Structure 1
Amino acid sequence: MNRRLFTAAGLALFATASLAAPALADSLDQIKASKTIRIAVDLGSPPFGMNDASMQPTGSDVESAKLLAADLGYKLDLVQVTSPNRVPFLLTGKTDLVMASFSISEERKKVIDFSEPYGVIQIIIAAPKSVTIKDLNDIVGKRVATTRGSTNDKEVTTQAPQADMVRYDDDATLITALISGQVNILASSPQTMAAINARRPQDPLEVKVVVKTNPYAIGIRKGDDALRAVVDEWVKTNLRNGKLNAIYTKYNGVGLPAEMLK
């Protein structure tokens, strides 16, 4: 079956005009035959994927991929991807699955399928305990630090247009600004907050408002229904038994939402 990836404005993964995928046999049959499962991870996206001090892959997605391969009884072949090429690698058969903090979106669902969600990326407002923020109305007129052009920036700017957004070009600069006290209110993720608090123990930030929760899941080619069924059952089992929550908590510093674990 030929598949084509169409350009969708505003999404890096649709940057090319089109991408045709070759005819592919059922992935589950191929995996069984080779006894190897190829799972794509992004090693430039800590804490989900990164290299440790010994330059070995680590992170919550890496450990989750290892658990998936071990539970299914296959050898794991980690395939390194970046955010823009996650979909192309999947469509062209360079990987069987993608586990790379792959947020579910309507645009992506037009060209690939997703498993049941196994994690979340939250957009939060964080500030020191001394700062009272009960909802987004409380940041109106206040200086709020974020990363320029990020989903955090876009979501908070949309919901609280009266906030005084202080935008930094990357997460590293944002973190430095919060550590040095240039700004005391953060619009980012719990992972960024944890990185700040590790270097700001005397006056740590705490989550004040959860602005939005974006679930992420395992990317699967359309038509790979047998593989999807196996992966969905694996996700459900390991959410119920707590293994995926333990991995997520280990790397993210916070647990998964309670409703995901039921």
Structure 2
Amino acid sequence: MSLVAAMAALVTVAGAARADQLADIKARGKLICGTLGTVEPFSFQHPQTRQIVGYDVDICQTIADAVGVPLELKTIAVEARIPELTQGRVDILAANLGYTAERGKQIQFSDTYFVSQQKLMTTQESGLTTLDQLAGKKITALKGSSSEQGVRRLIPTAETVTFQDTSSAFLALAQDKVDALCASELILVKLQHQSKVPMVIIAKSLFVEPWGLGMRKDEPAFTDLVNATLTKLAESGALDAIFAKWLGAGTPYNIKRDYAVAPIKD
């Protein structure tokens, strides 16, 4: 074999080794899932046990079970989600990760496991009730989130004010330091129920956002396992059970899953 051919074969073998993340996870003996840990009901600290629980956590647990290894959670900031994944510090993201074309170029998205209505909330006292009224206003969102990107894209005249966590963003709204807060409708409903200041959620969505689990690109075995697991959850009714546990009747949200587990398209 020529030197060039030998080098080419070596590169091919090395590439194949790098591409088998699923085997690496099994060999390591744990699945490391990146999640936010601050966003109820998706991933948040249980008030009694102090453990991170929620919809995203349960979804990641099903992936770990499918791989056949224990789950390790790693809490990460919104803006750190993709860097943590691409630099190999987590294996998968279950972290309120809305699909955008830009993100789709950087990482692999799973099939849809949640669909978020992105809306805006204002104080009742402000009198702001339509999206048109928010032109030129101060709007807050989590730093690095698709909510922030959506505000910048769809209300370009607004002044976007970002925070590292939802509590800080909400406090800014309650203290009239900003005019509106953009987030998932479910997050806003929870905040509205908890608020001592009367709040109004603007009825019209700013945009609708499919969420996927985030994975590194070019990992077909791991990607196929994740998508097959989500499909099995949906077909067996287990996904409805997880959804109902965190978002259904008896919760502050009281909604039903009305979307299919399906590939995310631009």
TM surpasses 0.5:
yes
Partner of 2:100: 105
Partner of 1:220: 215
Contact 1:115–1:231 (8 Å) recurs in 2? yes
**Matches of 2:217 and 2:178, distance apart in 1:** 45
Offset of 1:106 from its aligned partner? 3.1
Partner of 1:209: 204
Amino acid at match of 1:24: R
The correspondence for 1:243, drawn from 235, 241, 247, is: 241
**Is there any run of 5+ residues in structure 1 with no aligned partner, and where?**
3-20
Q: Deviations over 1:197-251 (max 9, x none)?
A: 2333784534511111222212223332122112112112323421353355268
Q: In the comparison of the two structures, how many residue pairs are matched? A: 239
Contact 1:41–1:61 (8 Å) recurs in 2? no
**Matches of 2:105 and 2:45, distance apart in 1:** 32
Alignment of 1:166-185 (within 5 A): 167=161, 169=163, 171-176=166-171, 178-179=173-174
TM-score by length of structure 1 reads: 0.67
Aligned to 2:205, the other structure's residue is in SS state strand
**Matches of 1:94 and 1:30, distance apart in 2:** 13
Instruction: Verify: 1:124 aligned to 2:96, yes or no.
Output: no
Amino acid at match of 2:33: A
Offset of 1:116 from its aligned partner? 0.6
Change (3 A) 1:52 1:95: same
Offset of 1:108 from its aligned partner? 3.4
Q: CA RMSD in A?
A: 4.1
The correspondence for 1:38, drawn from 13, 16, 31, is: 31
Change (3 A) 1:146 1:91: closer
Partner of 2:147: 152
Moved more, 147-156 or 41-50: 147-156
Moved more, 51-60 or 228-237: 51-60
Amino acid at match of 1:110: K
Change (3 A) 1:44 1:88: same
Change (3 A) 1:229 1:200: same
Aligned to 2:96, the other structure's residue is in SS state strand
TM-score by length of structure 2 reads: 0.66
Partner of 1:63: 58
Query: Hey, which of these two has a bigger chunk of strand by percent?
Result: 1
Q: Deviations over 1:178-198 (max 9, x none)?
A: 556787854333244234323
Change (3 A) 1:199 1:177: farther
Change (3 A) 1:128 1:109: closer
Change (3 A) 1:222 1:247: farther
